[in-house]
Amino acid sequence: MAAIDAQDSRAAGAAGADVRKHSLQLRVLGPLEALSDGVALTLGGRKERTALALLGAHVGTVVATDDLIDGIWGDEPTTAARSTLHTYISNLRSRVGDVIVRDGGGYRLEIEPDDVDAFVFEHAVSNARELAATDQAQAAQTLRQALALWRGRPYADVAGSPPLDVEARRLEELRLEAVEARIDADLALGRHAELAGELEVLCEENALRERFRAQHMLSLYRSGRQAEALRAYQKTRAYLADELGLEPAKELQELERLILNQDRSLLPDTEPQVQARAFLLTDVEDSTVLWELHTDAMRAAMAEHDRIVLGAVEAGGGQVVKRVGDGLDIAFADAGAAVSAAQAIQIELSKVDWRETGPLRVRMAIDAGEVEWRGGDYFGPVLNRAGRLLAAAHGGQVLLSGDAHGLSSARSGWQAKALGEHRFKGIGSPVTVFQLVVEGLPADFPPLRIDRPTTSAARTGFGRSVRGYELREQVGAGDFGVVYRAYQPSVGREVAIKVIRPELVNQAAFVRRFEAEAQLVAQLEHPHVVSLYDYWRDPDGAYLVMRWLRRGSLRQALERGPWKIEAVSRLLAQVGSALAYAHRQGVVHRDLKPANVLLDEEGHAYLSDFGIAARLSDPDDPRRLVSGSPAYLPPEEIAGAAHTPRSDLYGLGLLTFELLTGEPPPMDGPLPPLGKLRPELPAALDAVIVRATSAEPDERHESVDAFLIAFAQATGADTPSLAATYTPAENPYKGLRAFGESDAEHFFGREALVAQLVAAVAEHRLVAVVGPSGIGKSSVVKAGLVPALRNGALPGSERWLVADLFPGAYPFEDIAAALLRVAVERPDDLVEELARDELGIRRVAKRILPAGSELLLVVDQFEELFTLTSDEDVRRRFLDGLTALAADPRAPVRVVVTLRADFLDHPLRYPKFGELLGAGLVTVPAPSEDELAEAVERPAATVGVRFEPGLVSQIVADVHDQPGALPLLQYALTELFAARTSDLLALEGYRATGGVVGALGRRAEELYARLDTPARRACRQVFLRLVSVDPAGQDTRRRVRTRELRAL
């Protein structure tokens, strides 16, 4: 902590000077940044930045001119390198100030080491190592704060300078050591259960780092998962033997022995402390809307809020445990102190003139009882109950539990009224609720909002790690969840993670559709759409990982007033093209508003947050939350109608109005005329805005492109035009990628086979889809069968859940991961429960799936069970589990497996499973000529593109009777469509790509020819690692992590 706070205490040096000589700070733990008083400075080109980075790496010491030249130009400097360096230094001085001084035969950066984040980080790690001996909680917190300084690879934008590359590798190693030390501290604090998932990812990403392996084994063992801890050791041993021909280190072998013996020395030294505490929880009502509408005013309002709340906490002897969005969790020694603080806060808040934001209405809840103090935090039912009370309260209302009321009633000076007994979700017994009555303030409130979701999703926080992402600070919150800035160490980049609340993600409608909807958004690839990097769901929440943009949202930018019309035109061109692209892919945004338009450092705009949570919330749930800022909600959505592309146009029109005027749209009534607010604007713009924001969707522009053309015409700008024969459209062909569920609209030619599969699923609880390699088994299941079932091909199938997996080397772990994606409960020993006996899979499925639901479990590439699973006992138990599952007509799971025909004999060697497989066997034949013609022609037709007469017949002739040619066909069509210059796909263009047989080979040769000799060797190693060959010489694909390939 001392190192992190050093920047606030630096004035102790320099003879006690009160004013610092400089204000420059350097950030090198990521792309190089220079800041003055917290404001980023503009730096020059790469070599000029390299000069500054070299000086920053040796801050306070002289860097010789020759060393600077070597660091910038390497072994072959230009003849003018010395004079060019002087120019760079001169330019840097003009940008960062006179902090670069000439000293002898070199230059020195005259700032303090603590002005460089790498030095702050290193100092903090050193301090944490000393703290670990006496205060593990403080050591863990110090390391979390130190790790939060990382924004990416050190010196990321000046890589290639040998001395900086060496320094970057040193810092990367120190970072891993800091993570290890932080995990050691967390293990000592008893946080083993929450570390297991993080360590699993760390082991995968740092496969040769045995310290992470040991910590993972220990976290599993302390969590009561001894068998998983031992299996983790066996996986480590197998990996080291396969990759390096080595045995695990002696320390790891000794840890395995201690786990086998259940040695008590492995247990944590400290036990949780039980304490009696009272808790006051606060939250600002409607803060999300206030932040959107009055960003700057809310900053001032929250500063005043914090002054009042923290003053009352200090006066009452309380302790702030954590911040939760705009609220606080506060602990007091007794309930009376908590009640007195709540009363004082409400009285002081009522006295403030809040001006633009209006009064801040703060809801509060108080509960008291025994809690566990563990790892620097409190745990127990008291906090859960307080959270439920807080969610039920209204702004300005203070609720007390019966326990809190009873423990504090002896104090005078306040009164409460009974609100009766209430039942809260997740709390077994009814809770007696009281309301604090504060003299002079409102005492009458609407009924309690018993079913309102709690803010529990936000009560994890700074430094927590989920799936390999380290959470930083919370940057946003709303009814659906919270948004964090986070860091992804494996890639070295900052990201934004939206965590959707468990109350929503465990609704059956959300579970059914989450993966398909997230996949659809993830496939949006447009320069001005914020990329969705990753997504997953489990019983604790749903997670969306997106690009992090530093400049914030358009909402903040609009606080500075209206934009010039040229800037508005540029932003609309970017956002409009992104929105039009999404509409062409069948994706409606649902929540278009300034807060969902993000800006980068250059001012470019990006469309964000495609409303996955809103689309998937259960429409029949009375607690269903409506997405969108109130002023931006289209009339049809308020009326309960479906949200369409023209609903997005309504939002785009309002956004344009706010850009031009600087005024948010009125909450009710029509928009004021633009000329009244900005007379200098072209009069024709009023008609464009009025049409886009019409209350009737049919009266709005027919498309985003039409709106952009109308806007351009009204402003006198060049009208966007496209060649009459060319329509921009998504490429409907999939290249070498298998079709997924989101590709169903472009999947043609297999209708008869899909109908056969639907019938098989109706009749059999285990269906095997068998065919040769490249025939399209996975595609017909995922883009044919699954969408058909989603659309109700069988009675009730529209409500089925779907989960898929590859069996891989550890099939029970893979099926556990698949089930968790659709589960509403997470058993502690899930893998062990699944593998316990032949009924394990069935028993677990019944327990963790949503009540009354049925699951379609797709086991893709089933041959992996016989090529990658090396343990025969594991293979047999997995097959036994599937057999028991499929043989039970009451089981809530149906199984579909896809299997290569040349592996059909393998599962038939297991009699019981083989009998079921044979009964539900569906073979996948080569498509007929008519089916091939549909697969070729109809995807293009869906986006308005046609084939030259005779071309379809030519393509069908080229591919018909060619074994395994369907992937080649899709690749050739992808290349043909990408190269088109009109809406007509021509024979000449087809031949130019190389046709079905030549397109892929020609492209591969082109790429390979560009590689130098080392790269070609690496390429060969990559392909060797992507194939697995069994003792009989049969080959199958092998999945590897990208980190392993990057190491080549």
Q: What is the DSSP string of 418-448?
A: EEEEE--TT-SS-EEEEEEE-TTS----PPP
Q: How many domains does the chain have?
A: 7
Of the candidates 658, 431, 670, the one whose C-alpha atom is nearest the C-alpha of residue 563 is 658
Question: Residue 344's domain is classified under what CATH number?
Answer: 3.30.70.1230
Check whether residue 1045 and residue 978 sit in a common domain: no
Residue 206 CA to residue 226 CA, distance in Å, equals 23
What is the pLDDT, as a whole number, of residue 526?
85
Residue 835 lies in a domain: yes
Task: Return the amino acid letter for 318.
Answer: G
At CA 864, angle to CA 862 and CA 869, rounded to 5?
A: 125
What is the pLDDT, as a whole number, of residue 221?
92
Structure-token pair, residue 394: 């209204």
Which residues make Cβ contacts (< 8 Å) with residue 480, sequence separation at least 6?
Answer: 500, 501, 504, 613, 614, 617, 625, 627
Residue 496 CA to residue 544 CA, distance in Å, equals 8
Task: Return the amino acid letter for 247.
Answer: E
Torsion of CA 26, 28, 32, 34, to 10 degrees: -10
Last residue of one domain, picked from the residues 109, 141, 158: 158
Task: Please give the share of the chain, as a percent, with pLDDT higher than 90.
Answer: 50
What is the pLDDT, as a whole number, of residue 522?
84
What is the pLDDT, as a whole number, of residue 729?
74
SS3 386: helix
Of the candidates 135, 129, 149, 138, the one whose C-alpha atom is nearest the C-alpha of residue 7 is 149
Of the candidates 326, 297, 291, the one whose C-alpha atom is nearest the C-alpha of residue 309 is 326
What are the φ and ψ backbone dihedral angles of 276, each rounded to 5 degrees?
-95, 120
Contact yes or no for 456/434 (Cβ under 8 A): no
Check whether residue 753 and residue 844 sit in a common domain: yes
Residue 499 lies in a domain: no
Check whether residue 569 and residue 638 sit in a common domain: yes
Task: Return the amino acid letter for 572.
Answer: L
**H/E element holding 801?**
strand 801-805
Which residues make Cβ contacts (< 8 Å) with residue 577, sequence separation at least 6?
Answer: 526, 528
What is the pLDDT, as a whole number, of residue 458?
40
**CA–CA distances in Å: residue 1022 to residues 735, 738, 1038:** 20, 20, 11
Task: Return the amino acid letter for 704.
Answer: V
Residue 736 lies in a domain: no
Check whether residue 752 and residue 901 sit in a common domain: yes
SS3 content of the chain, % helix, strand, coil (to 5): 50, 15, 35
What is the pLDDT, as a whole number, of residue 381?
86
Residue 311 lies in a domain: yes
Check whether residue 342 and residue 424 sit in a common domain: yes
Check whether residue 523 and residue 620 sit in a common domain: yes
Structure-token pair, residue 1023: 């392909």
What is the pLDDT, as a whole number, of residue 42?
87
Residue 505 lies in a domain: no
Question: Residue 878's domain is classified under what CATH number?
Answer: 3.40.50.300
Torsion of CA 767, 768, 771, 772, to 10 degrees: 150
Structure-token pair, residue 232: 């983790």
Q: Which domain holds residue 86?
A: 4-158
pLDDT (tens digit, 9 = 90+) per residue, 614-660? Answer: 555 545 544 444 445 678 889 998 888 888 999 999 999 999 999 99
Which residues make Cβ contacts (< 8 Å) with residue 656, sequence separation at least 6?
Answer: 568, 572, 688, 689, 692, 711
Last residue of one domain, picked from the residues 923, 956, 979: 923
Residue 410 lies in a domain: yes
Check whether residue 964 and residue 905 sit in a common domain: no
Q: What mean pLDDT, rounded, does the chain reach?
A: 86
What is the pLDDT, as a whole number, of residue 623?
44
**CA–CA distances in Å: residue 453 to residues 170, 305, 433, 1024:** 46, 24, 18, 51
Please provide the distance, in angstroms rounded to a whole number, between the alpha carbons at the two ends of the chain.
Answer: 38
Residues in the chain where the model's pLDDT stays below 50: 1-21, 452-460, 618, 621-627, 720-724
Check whether residue 416 and residue 542 sit in a common domain: no
**CA–CA distances in Å: residue 274 to residues 271, 280, 287, 375:** 9, 18, 34, 13
What is the pLDDT, as a whole number, of residue 22?
52
**CA–CA distances in Å: residue 985 to residues 5, 502, 1006:** 64, 48, 23
Alpha helices in 444-537 (DSSP H): 502-505, 508-522
Residue 485 lies in a domain: no
Last residue of one domain, picked from the residues 266, 289, 313: 266
**H/E element holding 918?**
helix 911-919
Contact yes or no for 693/650 (Cβ under 8 A): yes
pLDDT (tens digit, 9 = 90+) per residue, 379-410? Answer: 788 988 898 899 889 999 999 999 999 887 66
Contact yes or no for 536/821 (Cβ under 8 A): yes
Contact yes or no for 391/453 (Cβ under 8 A): yes
Question: Residue 961's domain is classified under what CATH number?
Answer: 1.10.8
Structure-token pair, residue 768: 């095997």
What is the pLDDT, as a whole number, of residue 959?
84
Check whether residue 759 and residue 903 sit in a common domain: yes
Residue 497 lies in a domain: no
Check whether residue 681 and residue 761 sit in a common domain: no
Structure-token pair, residue 1044: 């392993």
Residue 471 CA to residue 144 CA, distance in Å, equals 10
- Which runs of E-coded beta strand occur in 50-89? 62-64
Contact yes or no for 619/509 (Cβ under 8 A): yes
Check whether residue 942 and residue 912 sit in a common domain: no
Check whether residue 335 and residue 438 sit in a common domain: yes
Question: Residue 589's domain is classified under what CATH number?
Answer: 1.10.510.10
Count Cβ atoms within 10 A of the Cβ of residue 461 and give its class: 0-12 exposed, 13-18 middle, 19 or more buried.
middle
What is the pLDDT, as a whole number, of residue 925?
92
